């Protein structure tokens, strides 16, 4: 029923344009010739479940107007003394109804505003009401407090994600929060990327520890940006060396192509940086890059309370050894990477003399990437 005592009726509610409301968190809708304020709530994104709360546009004043109109005729027929008593009683009823209406509409109006902020992703800008949820059968306030508990949970999850993104890649952080990365490992075919700074010891021997860290951070930032651009995942930084994965934790097609492309762009970025350093009288920076494709064991390694997502196996060691063979600004790849899907058709590669690598029996074929074809 509506505040004036009339009924919308079941037929009237069939007129609600539900499909047009699914994309809106709140607003106004006309039903049976009258305007209603609505609040749209989706409790779980994974489930196609929608709740709508409808309230007359006039809110608490609808109750007041309804009672006032119905009382006028009665008051006019009463004696003066009775009128005063009736007016007093009416005022009491109006105040009582007004308080009830505000109790209902205030949290709904607040929820409407907060829902818009959540939709925008502005979780930090939402003020969480103080106090814990009270034991009550009031459905409105139960919904109100439950909604803010959900906001608090989302906010905490975003904080955790923000911290994780600073110590691991965004991709690993997302998989960890979803619970998709378990203790232990699984076999994956990945492309492993190693790059390290040549002549690092001589270059930094006269620097202070603070200057060394600043220098490494600048260099690794430029290389890491290219790795991120081509869907690579930073596995770890070890001194002046960076290790990255292409194809883990989420398998991707053409991982070898992405790894080589990121290496080429990283070298070009370092060349541009060297031009700036030269103008400032700073020494040139060179890096050697080694890339190999093969099966590895990938997963969370370590103790249950302190895990590190990484890859292990002979193929990881081979990528590291190939990197050690690379000269400054040189990109070396293995024969397995050369024959990976799409590599030979996209890049100009020159076969070098096979090399003996520590920990591996027999000579290993390596190739230098000169650039892209076409």
Alpha-carbon distance of 109 to 324, in angstroms, equals 64
Confidence band of 38 (pLDDT split at 50, 70, 90): confident
What number is the average pLDDT over the span 246-265? 92
**Which pLDDT value is given to residue 80?**
54
3-state helix, strand, coil in the chain (%, to 5): 45, 25, 30
**Which pLDDT value is given to residue 342?**
94
Query: At 294, is the secondary structure helix, strand, or coil?
Result: strand
What number is the average pLDDT over the span 256-275? 97
Q: H or E stretch including 18?
A: helix 18-21
DSSP string, 193-235: EEEEEETHHHHHTTS-HHHHHHHHHHHHHHHHHHHHHTT-EEE
Alpha-carbon distance of 145 to 133, in angstroms, equals 6
Assess whether pLDDT exceeds 60 at residue 169.
Answer: no
Assess whether pLDDT exceeds 90 at residue 132.
Answer: no
**Which pLDDT value is given to residue 268?**
97
| Selected residue with higher pLDDT from 374 and 47 | 374
Burial class of residue 161, CB neighbours in 10 A (0-12, 13-18, 19+): middle
Confidence band of 8 (pLDDT split at 50, 70, 90): very low
CATH placement of domain 182-372: 3.30.70.1230
What number is the average pLDDT over the span 322-332? 97
What number is the average pLDDT over the span 97-110? 64
Assess whether pLDDT exceeds 90 at residue 357.
Answer: yes
Range with the lowest mean pLDDT among 26-30, 41-45, 55-59, 70-74?
A: 70-74
For the chain, the maximum distance between any two Cα atoms, rounded to a whole number of angstroms, is: 116
How confident is the model over 273-296, as pLDDT tens digits?
999 999 999 899 999 999 999 999
Alpha-carbon distance of 290 to 368, in angstroms, equals 9
Assess whether pLDDT exceeds 50 at residue 209.
Answer: yes
**Which pLDDT value is given to residue 167?**
45
Assess whether pLDDT exceeds 60 at residue 44.
Answer: no
Range with the lowest mean pLDDT among 52-56, 249-253, 368-372?
A: 52-56
- Average pLDDT score over the chain: 78
**Which pLDDT value is given to residue 257?**
97
What percent of the chain clears pLDDT 90, i.e. is strictly above it?
39
Tell me which range, 114-128, 193-207, 249-263, 321-335, is most confidently predicted by mean pLDDT: 321-335
Break the chain into its structural domains and give their ranges: 9-157, 182-372
**Contact by Cβ (8 Å): 288, 198:** yes
Q: H or E stretch including 21?
A: helix 18-21
**Contact by Cβ (8 Å): 15, 35:** no
**Which pLDDT value is given to residue 91?**
72
Assess whether pLDDT exceeds 60 at residue 251.
Answer: yes
How confident is the model over 69-81, as pLDDT tens digits?
555 555 555 555 5
Range with the lowest mean pLDDT among 30-39, 238-247, 278-287, 333-342?
A: 30-39
Range with the lowest mean pLDDT among 32-36, 173-177, 198-202, 299-303?
A: 173-177
Identify which of 310, 330, 333 has the alpha carbon closest to the alpha carbon of residue 322. 333
Q: H or E stretch including 367?
A: strand 366-372
Q: H or E stretch including 140?
A: helix 139-167
Torsion, CA 311, CA 313, CA 315, CA 321, rounded to 10: 90
**Which pLDDT value is given to residue 17?**
76
Residue 262, φ and ψ in degrees, nearest 5: -65, -35
**Which pLDDT value is given to residue 293?**
98
Alpha-carbon distance of 298 to 90, in angstroms, equals 75
What percent of the chain clears pLDDT 70, i.e. is strictly above it?
59
Question: How many Cβ atoms from other residues are within 10 Å of residue 232's Cβ?
Answer: 26
pTM given for the model:
0.58
- R_g of the chain, CA atoms, integer Å: 34
**Which pLDDT value is given to residue 35?**
78
Alpha-carbon distance of 288 to 293, in angstroms, equals 17
**Which pLDDT value is given to residue 5?**
45
How confident is the model over 49-58, as pLDDT tens digits?
676 767 776 6
């Amino acid at each position: 029923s509506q505040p004036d005592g009339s009924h919308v009726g079941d037929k009237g509610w069939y007129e609600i344009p539900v499909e047009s409301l699914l994309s809106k968190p709140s607003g106004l809708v006309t039903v049976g010739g009258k305007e209603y304020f609505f609040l749209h709530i989706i409790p779980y994104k994974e489930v196609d479940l929608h709740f709508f709360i409808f309230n007359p546009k006039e809110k608490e004043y609808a109750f007041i107007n309804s009672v006032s109109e119905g009382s006028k005729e009665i008051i006019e027929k009463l004696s003066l003394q009775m009128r005063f008593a009736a007016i007093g009683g009416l005022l009491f009823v109006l105040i009582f109804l007004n308080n009830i209406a505000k109790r209902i509409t205030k949290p709904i109006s607040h929820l409407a505003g907060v829902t818009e902020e959540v939709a925008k992703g502005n979780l930090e800008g939402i003020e969480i009401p103080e106090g814990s949820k009270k034991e009550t059968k009031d459905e409105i306030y139960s919904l109100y407090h439950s909604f803010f508990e959900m906001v608090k949970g989302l906010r905490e999850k975003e904080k955790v994600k923000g911290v994780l993104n600073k110590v691991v890649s965004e991709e690993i952080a997302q998989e960890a929060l979803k619970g998709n990365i378990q203790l232990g490992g699984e076999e994956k075919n990945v492309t492993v990327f190693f790059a390290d700074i040549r002549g690092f010891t001589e270059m930094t021997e006269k620097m202070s520890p603070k200057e060394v860290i600043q220098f490494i951070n600048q260099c690794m930032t430029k290389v890491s940006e290219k790795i991120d651009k081509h869907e690579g995942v930073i596995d770890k930084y070890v001194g002046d060396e960076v290790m990255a994965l292409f194809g883990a934790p989420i398998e991707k097609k053409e991982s070898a192509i992405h790894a080589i492309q990121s290496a080429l762009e990283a070298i070009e970025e370092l060349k541009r940086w060297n031009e700036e350093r030269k103008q400032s009288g700073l020494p040139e920076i060179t890096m050697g890059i080694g890339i190999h494709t093969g099966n590895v064991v990938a997963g969370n390694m370590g103790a249950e309370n302190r895990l590190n997502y990484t890859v292990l196996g002979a193929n990881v060691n081979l990528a590291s050894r190939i990197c050690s063979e690379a000269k400054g600004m040189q990109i070396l790849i293995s024969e397995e990477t050369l024959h990976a899907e799409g590599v030979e058709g996209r890049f100009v590669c020159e076969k070098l003399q096979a090399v003996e690598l520590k920990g591996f029996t027999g000579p290993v074929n390596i190739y230098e990437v000169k650039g892209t074809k076409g």
